[in-house]
Chain A
């Protein structure tokens, strides 16, 4: 079984400040990890993903995430928040080719950016 926990359903930062959105996963096998962003009344867009190889993954819009196996974490960061980053962010885990192994999503974190 696999699961994802996103700490903090709401995060508020000032424009220009560091963005840190936390994601911890549980998986019995090496996971594949994803971060998606959702703007109001829209679908989800992939920000970045970790499959194998380098544990620091860079994505779109200046976001990056680091896979830390020892901490079972995949936190999303951005050095400097922009007003356009305000959205909901979802962390997701998958564990490979096998019937029933689906993308499992965390509950989401709504990021608010203050001017």
Chain B
């Protein structure tokens, strides 16, 4: 079955560490996105990528980095510069970066700073 796989489901980070969240899709979608979810704040866009080897900052990109070396993969690194990284992170993809196409979401990664 086609879909988006995020791993790990739970992740714990020590202060000052970088961590990488994995996102893989086998839907043959061109565009991929990372969102951060905090209670009561909905989803906020971190980064998005329309095509391989290209990506754009979203609304809250500071302290995060991404890469898009393959169409199927869009990993997110939470760097030590992100001062409040504890949140639920969601990866999504769309067939194209086009407004009328629905987004498909992964199951999320819950990151906790310990």
Contact = CB atoms under 8 A, between A and B. Distances in A.
Contacts of B48: 102
B56 interface: yes
B45 A102 contact: yes
Contacts, number: 68
Interface of B: 4, 6, 9, 33, 35, 40-43, 45, 48, 50, 56, 58, 88, 90, 92, 96-100, 102-108, 110
A107 B100 contact: no
Query: What are the nearest 3 A-B pairs in CB distance?
Result: A43-B105, A96-B99, A94-B99
Interface of A: 9, 32, 34, 36, 41-46, 49, 51-52, 90, 94-103, 105-108
Contacts of B110: 41
A99 B102 CA distance: 16
Contact of A43 (B40, B50, B58, B107): B107
Given A102-B48, A102-B58, A42 B107 contact: yes
Given A9-B40, A43-B90, A97 B98 contact: yes
Nearest to A48: B102
Given A43-B107, A97-B97, A105-B35, 17 more contacts: A9-B40, A34-B102, A41-B107, A43-B6, A43-B105, A43-B108, A44-B105, A46-B102, A46-B103, A46-B104, A97-B99, A102-B45, A102-B48, A103-B33, A103-B45, A105-B43, A106-B42
